[in-house]
């Protein structure tokens, strides 16, 4: 009985911490319509800052809290809203998602540079001591966390429903123009929301930091409040009372699973299951939500869709691209670079380019934000290695089919929900696979999975040049496939569903089938890319498909242009080059690109000043600017009018 009571106390304590972070998410979403994926990263920075001030510099606890919450979190929240979020009202779903993800990787990058991950940092309790109640010891720190969470929930409830400011905060996201007519400033209200959200995130990080018995860890602290995401989803991102209750319930469920169910798992997988629990709860919360209404009208469309090249134009461009790759293969054959060869790196670029193409298809065309393409890539590499040692076309086919099937299974339960919820579902799936599958030594082994190079009758791809050209050929074929899909009736359906699902449903279009089909195709492409990546690398391990690396790559594609083939290729090229020259700079580069995303909806290739200078520009009659953004395609991505997208 005492064990049950102790687990209950721990569950309520952690649930209270999750509740503080979750209510911050609700406040931010209520006042801006943006789900802040960086909520956990804000809490992580606050936790490390608290350690720095209290443990390293011996400041009093109250002084440290004032500095972190009032000075740090409040000012940071105001700046983030003013610089990054203010231009995103009414924007397509993927832009706010990418911006907050970019903020997350910026904060994790700054933390990695500031606080070395190799140093252990333990945070002491704010309030020392304990007392006995019903036969168990209860720490005063646990009581403090629970009490603060209750106080925060009550205060926010009173603010939103009993004050004029609270009513303005609730109204700003629905109709800012009408709110302005009533005498309140929509921008100021939105800024207040982000300030409150950042303060709640920082408070949760500071309160939960002492509970980390093994010390502060950047990734663990960033993802610690993911259960808060699940609670906010249960509260439908608007109901603080339901969110608070859900957070407590999730905290209890987590502790009960750890205490009673986890010991029955094999010891070798217990840690994997424990790490995956937060994402499992988030996924369950998402798939059990009631269906959400379709949007009645399309978004404010301020951006012209890219012009897609015809079949002949794409064919000529693809042949030209492959010809350039052949020249590169001859010139750089056997050229070493930083412990590998240039052509091996080129093969990695082409494999990642296929992953980028899958993002163009699923996110750029259909508007579904997928954050788990690296997960499909890892699954594809694993399947490739387990079938005939990876040296057969059968492995490529199996990797593609298996990943397409897994993608369909993920999309099916969440396809009835809004695009944001699909982004959260893929976020949960990516982290659960990374922590519950890839890091398991029984899956990838201690030294990784060996994958042989393709062998065909009369052909050998054992040499770097032959391997590079083979992967390049697959990239060209994948690019042709993506563009052919976009030109087809199915491709026009994707664009229509992206613009207005309600209108498509009105004319009888099967929206569910369309979304599941494109998600499965994109997952299959990512699986094929993983199999090809494995043939280039020869051995793949857990670090090749890291969760944060997958997020960063999505941001790279978005920064260049997630609607064009050239954006996919340039993202892969820049990602690989920067990873070789400055690995720690990947996150910072991707994160800093969010400033560009907020101001140029089409990415770098959508900037008008750049379009005029591109050598392959093709301007159809009557267009001010239209750019062929790669030899494969033409893409005129320009802003209409004087107002930027969103």
- Percentage above 90 pLDDT, the chain: 33
Mean pLDDT over 405-412 rounds to 89
Could you give the CA distance from residue 635 to residue 565 in angstroms, rounded to a whole number? 9
| Least-confidence region, from 10-19, 269-278, 570-579, 626-635 | 626-635
What CATH number does domain 2-125+132-253 carry, 3.10.20, 1.10.287, 1.10.540, 1.10.3470? Answer: 1.10.3470
For residue 279, which of 267, 287, 290 has the smallest C-alpha distance? Answer: 287
Which has more pLDDT, 194 or 168? 194
pLDDT of residue 638: 30
Euclidean distance between CA atoms 106 and 80, whole angstroms: 12
**Distance in angstroms (rounded) separating the CA atoms of residues 350 and 479:** 11
DSSP 8-state assignment for residue 610? H
Would you say how long the chain is, in residues?
Answer: 646
pLDDT of residue 297: 37
Q: What are phi and psi of 472, to 5 degrees?
A: -60, -40
**What value does the mean pLDDT take over residues 580-589?**
83
What's the mean per-residue pLDDT of the chain? 82
Please give the model's pTM, rounded to 2 decimal places: 0.86
- Residue 202's alpha-carbon distances to 46, 183, 353, 437, 470, in angstroms, are 5, 31, 37, 31, 49
Q: In the beta sheet, which residues pair with residue 133?
A: 136
Does residue 108 register a pLDDT over 60? yes
The residues near 526 (Cβ < 8 Å, ≥ 6 apart) are 354, 355, 358, 373, 374, 376, 377, 380, 403
DSSP output for 217-231:
-HHHHHHHTHHHHHH
DSSP string, 231-282: HHHHTTTT-HHHHHHHHHHHHHHHHHIIIIIGGGS-HHHHHHHHHHHHHHHH
**Residue 233 vs residues 191, 289, 309: alpha-carbon distances, Å:** 22, 8, 41
Give the pLDDT of residue 569: 96
Domain with CATH 1.10.3470 in the chain: 2-125+132-253
Whose structure tokens read 């079949």?
311
Tens digits of residue pLDDT in 545-574: 888 899 999 999 999 989 899 999 999 999
Cβ atoms 369, 419 nearer than 8 A: yes
Measured distance CA(629)–CA(598) in Å, rounded: 21
- pLDDT tens track for 273-309: 777 788 788 888 887 776 554 443 334 444 555 567 7
Q: Is the pLDDT of residue 109 over 80?
A: yes
Can you read off the two tokens belonging to residue 50?
Answer: 């608290």
- Please state, in angstroms and rounded to a whole number, the distance separating the CA atoms of residues 202 and 14: 15
The dihedrals phi and psi of 115, each to the nearest 5 degrees, come to -120, 110
Residue 507 pLDDT > 50: yes
Q: Lowest-confidence range among 104-108, 229-233, 440-444, 636-640? A: 636-640
Tokens of 539: 């051995």
What is the model's pLDDT at position 1? Answer: 62
Sign of the four-CA dihedral 358, 362, 367, 372: negative
Give tens-digit pLDDT for 202-234. Answer: 999 999 899 888 889 888 888 877 778 888 888
Comparing 214 with 316, the larger pLDDT belongs to 316
What average pLDDT does this structure show over 403-408? 94
| Among 351-355, 356-360, 484-488, 599-603, the least confident range | 599-603
Distance of alpha carbon 417 from alpha carbon 292, whole angstroms: 5
HEC string of 464-528? HHHHHHHHHHHHHHHHHHHHHHHHCHHHHHHHHHHHCHHHHHHCCCCHHHHHHHHHHHHHHHHHH
User: According to the model, what pLDDT value does residue 626 have?
Assistant: 37
Sign of CA dihedral 10, 12, 14, 17: negative
| pLDDT reading at 624 higher than 70 | no
H or E segment at 137?
Answer: strand 136-139
Question: In this predicted structure, what is the pLDDT of residue 628?
Answer: 37
More confident residue, 626 or 258: 258
pLDDT in tens, 11-36: 999 999 999 999 989 889 888 888 89
Q: Binning pLDDT at 50, 70 and 90, where does residue 198 land?
A: very high
Is residue 119 over pLDDT 70? yes
> Which of 112-116, 253-257, 466-470, 478-482 is the most confident on average?
478-482
Instruction: Tell me the C-alpha distance between 86 and 84, whole Å.
Output: 6
């Amino acid at each position: 009985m005492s064990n049950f009571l102790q687990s209950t106390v721990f569950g309520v304590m952690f649930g209270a911490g999750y509740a503080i972070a979750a209510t911050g998410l609700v406040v931010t979403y209520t006042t801006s319509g943006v789900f802040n994926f960086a909520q956990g990263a804000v809490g992580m920075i606050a936790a490390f800052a608290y350690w720095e001030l209290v443990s390293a510099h011996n400041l009093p606890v109250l002084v440290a809290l004032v500095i972190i919450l009032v000075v740090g979190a409040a000012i940071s929240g105001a700046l983030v809203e003013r610089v990054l979020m203010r231009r995103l009202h009414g924007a397509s779903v993927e832009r706010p998602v990418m911006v907050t993800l970019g903020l997350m990787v910026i904060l994790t990058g700054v933390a990695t540079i500031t606080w070395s991950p190799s140093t252990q940092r333990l945070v002491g309790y704010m309030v020392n001591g304990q007392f006995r109640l019903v036969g168990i010891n209860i720490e005063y720190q646990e009581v403090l966390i629970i009490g603060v969470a209750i106080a925060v929930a009550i205060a926010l409830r009173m603010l939103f429903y009993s004050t004029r400011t609270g009513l303005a905060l609730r109204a700003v996201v629905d109709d800012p123009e009408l709110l302005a007519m009533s005498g309140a400033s929509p921008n100021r209200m939105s800024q207040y929301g982000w300030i409150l959200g950042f303060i709640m995130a920082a408070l949760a990080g500071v309160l939960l930091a002492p509970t980390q018995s093994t010390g502060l860890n950047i990734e663990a602290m960033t993802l610690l409040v993911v259960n808060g995401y699940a609670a906010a989803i249960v509260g439908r991102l608007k109901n603080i009372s339901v969110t608070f209750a859900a957070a407590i319930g999730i905290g209890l469920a987590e502790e009960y699973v750890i205490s009673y169910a986890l010991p029955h798992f094999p010891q070798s997988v217990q840690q994997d299951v424990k790490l995956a629990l937060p994402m499992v709860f988030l996924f369950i919360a998402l798939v059990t939500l009631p269906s959400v209404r379709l949007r009645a009208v399309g978004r404010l469309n301020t951006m012209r869709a890219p012009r897609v090249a015809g079949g002949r134009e794409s064919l000529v461009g693809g042949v030209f691209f492959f010809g350039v790759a052949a020249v590169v293969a001859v010139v750089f054959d056997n050229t070493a670079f930083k412990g590998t060869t240039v052509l091996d790196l080129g093969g990695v670029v082409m494999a990642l380019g296929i992953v980028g193409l899958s993002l163009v298809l699923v996110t750029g065309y259909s508007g579904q934000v997928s954050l788990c393409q690296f997960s499909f890539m890892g699954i594809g590499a694993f399947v490739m290695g387990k079938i005939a040692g990876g040296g057969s076309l059968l492995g490529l086919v199996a990797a593609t089919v298996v990943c397409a099937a897994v993608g369909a299974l993920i999309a099916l339960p969440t396809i009835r929900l809004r695009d944001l919820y699909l982004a959260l579902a893929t976020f949960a799936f990516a982290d659960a696979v990374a922590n519950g599958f890839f890091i398991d030594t029984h899956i990838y082994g201690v030294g990784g999975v060996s994958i042989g190079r393709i062998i065909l009758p009369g052909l050998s791809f054992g040499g770097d040049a032959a391997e590079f050209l083979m992967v390049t050929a697959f990239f060209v074929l994948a690019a042709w496939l993506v563009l052919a899909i976009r030109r087809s009736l199915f491709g026009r359906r994707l664009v229509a569903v992206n613009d207005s699902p309600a209108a498509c449903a009105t004319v009888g279009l099967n929206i569910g089938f369309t979304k599941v089909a494109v998600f499965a195709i994109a997952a299959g492409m990512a699986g094929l890319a993983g199999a090809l990546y494995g043939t280039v690398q020869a051995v793949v391990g857990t670090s090749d498909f890291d969760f944060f690396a997958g997020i960063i790559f999505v941001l790279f594609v978005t920064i260049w242009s997630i609607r064009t083939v050239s954006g996919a290729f340039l993202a892969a090229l820049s990602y690989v080059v920067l990873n070789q020259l400055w690995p720690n700079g990947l996150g910072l580069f991707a994160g800093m690109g969010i400033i560009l995303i907020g101001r140029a909806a089409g990415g770098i290739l959508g900037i008008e000043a750049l379009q005029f200078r591109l050598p392959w520009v093709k301007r159809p009659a009557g267009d001010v600017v239209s750019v062929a953004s790669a030899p494969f395609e033409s893409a005129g991505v320009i802003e209409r009018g004087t107002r930027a997208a969103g």
